[in-house]
Amino acid sequence: MPIDGLFDWLGRFGDAVEAIFHLGAISSTTANDADAVIASNVNYSIALWRWCTAACKPLIYASSAATYGDGSTGFDDAGGIEALKRLRPLNLYGWSKHAFDLWTMREATAGRAPPMWVGLNFFNVFGPNEYHKGDMMSLTAKNYRRIAASETIRLFKSPRPDCADGEQCRDFVYVMDCAAVMLWLWRGGPGANIGGVSNLGTGKARSFLDLMNAVGGACEAVPKIEFIEMPPEIPIELPVLHTGKDESVTRDWLQHAVHHPRRGRRRLRHPIPVPKRSVYVSMPARARHIASYF
């Protein structure tokens, strides 16, 4: 359905809607049309928030780890609105997600929020059905066929002397695990007392070489890699991603969602913001699962 027609549709059929999962956005990290990004990523999201608030419908929306910028302020999502204010995104996309996160926290504090809401800071999501994303596809989707055909793939050189080429680290999380978490959150309903902005990643940083080797293992081929210079329009990020304070605790929430999706969800202690939760699932296992889609 075109975006322009959604609110007319909700006006007619909104009573039958159980929840809104708002994942669409201009997600290009090199986008430079501020008017279009604000309209899509901020204003449209605000309109959906207000509809869910008025209609008493749960809202789960996509924020982004891009809000953390270069990572110099850490990746802890349990600090509330004051911690959010300290973040400095590096690009227009990250800024737009950050602006909406701040707006939601202020609205929730003022008592103007859906009965259940969560903004999810997605880290580096990979998996099937991302082929429409062009340059924003994950490295897994971009390079699987090339690796399987023994073709040379390209990775960016490290921009920092203290980090070897290919050892830049990110939190790579599988799309179906993300979907399992969102469904698990929604099934708790308004009585779950959830509201806030939370990280959604594995809680473990892995290198680009780790990822490509996992893909190679899935298709029984050794990746051939050429390292190239990073384009100037891509901001330099920190090569190491830090994962927060207590990984053993943070994994528990998403492990429960991924491995025990039909069990009831426990009530969370801190309604605003949602404490950080994450899960580590074997990267090679996920790469093998992706291979079945090609």
Catalytic machinery residues: 93, 133
The answer to whether 116 and 189 are in contact (CB under 8 A) is: yes
Residue 197's nearest CA partner among 109, 260, 281 is 109
| 3-state DSSP assignment of residue 123 | coil
Q: What percent helix, strand, coil does the chain show, rounded to 5? A: 45, 15, 40
Tokens found for residue 201? 């990643």
The answer to whether 121 and 65 are in contact (CB under 8 A) is: yes
- In angstroms, the CA 269 to CA 173 distance is 25
Q: What is the DSSP string of 124-141?
A: EEE-SS-GGGGGGS-HHH
Residue 46's region, left for phi above 0, alpha for psi from -120 to 50, else beta, is alpha
